[in-house]
Structure 1
Amino acid sequence: MTPEPAPARDLRRLRTYTLFTVIGSGPLALAMAALFIAGAGENANPLAAGAAVGSVALCTSGLALHWHGQGPLRRRILWAASLALLLAGAAAEAGSGGISPAWGAPAGLLVAEGAMLWSRPGRRSLAVLLGTAATGAVSGFAMGLGLMDFGSLLTTVVLAPSIAIGIVCQLWHYRVAQELEQARGLAADLAIAEERLRFAGELHDVQGGHLQAIMLKAQVARRFQETDPELAASEVRAVEELAREALRDMRAVVGGYRKTALADEIDSAARILKSAGVDATVPDASPDLDEDTERLLGLLVREATTNLIRHAEPTAANVSILEVDAHVTVTVVNDGAAEAAGDGNGLSMLAKRFDEAGGSVEHALDNGEWTIRGTLPKPVALRPRQAPRVPRRVRRR
């Protein structure tokens, strides 16, 4: 069974946490209201208690419909009924001796659901502010009429925005996490598509000239096949040689043996990782090596980059180059590896080529970090160095 990628698992856990937080706000508000109503003792009004239960239940149902993406019509009906019950309960309590702070928590639920229901994303903080102001204004009006004391007013204007802001912020946080996960997946797909386009362009550049030359040689052979058979035969032999060379170059491109510059592959890896949202650290410059060594080390960087995009969920990667004694080592490390993958075709072929060149390829998984390391002997004669190798960081956008 393939383990679930860490970002997907974390998003699923955040969804569960958000659901329990938002829906759990209803029982929490009801418990607060019950404590204040029960504190009235013999003066507790049963009608007010029933209205509080009904208001909280209706508003919580509206939040549940919002979570499941239901349309606004039923939610508006539930919200209006909840508001009516809240006002009726507060009026019933006022008739029996004064309004307690029991309505602060249910009012916070109403403000949160109203912000979700009546405002667009991006304007909900303003909606919460307006709802809080309306709650404070009504409470202040009730205190002016002698129906509520200052302590009840203060408790109400603290409870209502606290519950409303908690619900709205939790839903906003989950929505942002969803959008970030979708963007990360899209960036990874685009990075792979970019690599495919690069490969297609490389294949086109290699084979286009061969095919054009083969076509011209074939036309010459056909034109002189009767008038000058010797020339035609010579052109046919040239076509055969060109076809053989084209096949060799195609195999080289597919197998990765075409001339590859290590610096170009590192720059390509940096672009791909950046577009995939990976925080990557790569060398600022690569050493001057012979063509074969650069080709193999460049292939290692290319294979490691492709593998970590396709088979891992990375957030950070590091490419480093180390020269020790007569050997040069390129190491690529990334996090987000769920399990140790077996040797695929790419790694097996790469290890074989390094072995033939007197080097080695190692890879390992340690605490969620996947490391692939390739070591080759340095060439005897090196070209003069151009610049020191200073690591540079490629930040995510």
Structure 2
Amino acid sequence: MSGRAGEHPCDNGRVRDGPSERGAGLTSLRRYTWWTVPGTTVCLLALFYGDWILDGDVPLWARVPVAAALVADVVASAVLLGRWLTPTPDAEVPLPKGWLVATIAATTVLAALPLARRDYGLWAVAPAVTVAICATYLPPSRRRHLLIGAALLATLPGAAVSLTTGDGELPYATLFPAGLLLFTVWMVLGPLWAWNLAGRLDRARRLEAELAVKDERLRFAADLHDIQGHHLQVIALKSELAARLVEVDPTRAAEEMREVRQLSAEALRDTRAVVRGYRRTTLEDEIANATRVLAAVGIDARTTLLPAAAAPELTPTARHLLGLVMREATTNVLRHSQARHTEVDYRVTDGTARLKVGNDGVDGLPATDGDGTGLHSLGERLRAADGELRWHRDGDRFEIEASLPTDATDTVPPHPANGPVTR
């Protein structure tokens, strides 16, 4: 447990709510901790030393400096503990040196004068409080060393006085101060540990909410990429084809441009559906779309479906993920290959759906090193659903193979909005 920086909780004499605490359930805990730790500490000092100051048997020369030191120690202790109990504990804060010097000086007076009168039950109260306050500002490893060293040192002053005066109270003078110190530390650090833990849990809650928003943005970006990337690639290819045909075959060019118009309308409709959160890519739609698009650019697309792509045992998630694989494979063929033939093989065996897409257009292109970001991100999504995505090159052939349980759950995380694989 360590100190934290932030707005001082007792500005203008009031414990004020931090902005992150409103509605988080921490306000009551912080107020309770404030009154428990600084309040109890101040009461402890005032109760023990107040009775000693009012004792008529104690000479005036001893009571006056103790009274002054008590006021200084109470103020310094309250400030030091208040600095630690901040509304938004987000950063480390050093132990204020000025207030530390003040509390050490006051503690010295509060310990020395009662010890000089052999009051073994009182002299260790102020040092115990000071040690506890200092411990709150230290990390666990250094705090442990401080407490062990302070407990051992607390046995020495009383023992020395008892041995010197021969009053026969050596066990009490030796052990009671050490026990009092450990009890005081436990009383102070316990509520502060609970407060620190609650603050960390609240920060984790806020971080979880922020991550949920970012995940949703990534999901939207991924879905938008899946739609726009594919549609725009097909539109570009068909527009290029129409430009080439406009002089030699105006009728065919007009037909291609009508399809471009239709694709543009589909892209706009799908984009609006993504914004509304309704659209979901499906395998059967992507296989049908791939066959039509590849045929339009002169690629022979052969499909083998065992059983039909609309197999009822597939969950929506399985259909969606395999549809994304089919779309990515089709986009790769259009953008990065010189393919003349493409084979699509889909089948369901033993509760596993397998999709294989191959083409013969690698010849003459740079060898793939498997660094395609689109396939890598899809592979991560399939692995999250207990599936697998592999791709390899064999001569002039490039093949993508995906496998996925038919009962894949709907908890697949979104993938980054990366572009298609570059081969």
Question: Would you say same fold, with TM above 0.5?
Answer: yes
Whole-angstrom CA distance in 1 between matches of 2:70 and 2:158: 19
Whole-angstrom CA distance in 2 between matches of 1:103 and 1:32: 10
Does structure 1 retain, via aligned residues, the 8 Å contact 2:120–2:158? no
Once the two structures are overlaid, the 10-residue window that deviates more, 26-35 or 204-213, is 26-35
SS at the partner of 1:145? Answer: helix
1:23 maps to 38
* Residue 106 (structure 2) pairs with residue 82 (structure 1): yes
2:49 maps to 33
Residue deviations 1:337-378, cap 9 Å, x none?
xxxxxxxxxxxxxxxxxxxxxxxxxxxxxxxxxxxxxxxxxx
Residue deviations 1:64-107, cap 9 Å, x none?
3333257532023213312331244235x42xxx3342223222
Whole-angstrom CA distance in 1 between matches of 2:243 and 2:99: 80
Residue deviations 1:185-227, cap 9 Å, x none?
1122112211221221122112211110011111222233334
1:61 maps to 75
Does structure 2 retain, via aligned residues, the 8 Å contact 1:55–1:85? yes
Return the letter of the residue paired with 2:47: A
Residue deviations 1:135-167, cap 9 Å, x none?
122222222222763545554333222112221
Does structure 1 retain, via aligned residues, the 8 Å contact 2:77–2:130? no
Please tell me the root mean square deviation across aligned C-alpha atoms, in Å: 3.7
TM-score normalised over the length of structure 2 = 0.53
Does structure 2 retain, via aligned residues, the 8 Å contact 1:54–1:85? no
Residue deviations 1:205-257, cap 9 Å, x none?
12211110011111222233334322221111010111122223223323333
Distance 1:74 1:6, change over 3 A: closer
SS at the partner of 2:278? Answer: coil
Distance 1:34 1:13, change over 3 A: same
- How many residues get paired? 264
Whole-angstrom CA distance in 2 between matches of 1:5 and 1:178: 10
Return the letter of the residue paired with 1:201: A
Does structure 2 retain, via aligned residues, the 8 Å contact 1:111–1:132? no
Whole-angstrom CA distance in 1 between matches of 2:50 and 2:121: 10
Does structure 1 retain, via aligned residues, the 8 Å contact 2:49–2:70? no
**Selected match of 1:114 from 112, 119, 134:** 134
**Selected match of 1:231 from 252, 270, 285:** 252
**Selected match of 2:156 from 137, 155, 160:** 137
Does structure 1 retain, via aligned residues, the 8 Å contact 2:120–2:172? no
Counterparts of residues 341-360 of structure 1 (less than 5 Å): none
Residue deviations 1:22-80, cap 9 Å, x none?
22212222202334565xx5422334434444444333333333332575320232133
Whole-angstrom CA distance in 2 between matches of 1:135 and 1:5: 41
2:182 maps to 161
**Selected match of 2:142 from 104, 112, 123:** 123
* Residue 63 (structure 2) pairs with residue 49 (structure 1): yes
Whole-angstrom CA distance in 1 between matches of 2:113 and 2:125: 13
1:380 maps to none
Does structure 1 retain, via aligned residues, the 8 Å contact 2:72–2:106? yes
SS at the partner of 2:279? Answer: coil
Does structure 2 retain, via aligned residues, the 8 Å contact 1:18–1:170? yes
Whole-angstrom CA distance in 1 between matches of 2:175 and 2:57: 21
**Selected match of 1:200 from 221, 227, 242:** 221
Does structure 2 retain, via aligned residues, the 8 Å contact 1:23–1:63? yes
State percent identity of aligned pairs.
Answer: 30
Distance 1:290 1:174, change over 3 A: same
TM-score normalised over the length of structure 1 = 0.57
* Residue 97 (structure 2) pairs with residue 73 (structure 1): yes
SS at the partner of 1:43? Answer: coil
Q: Which of the pair is proportionally richer in helix? A: 1
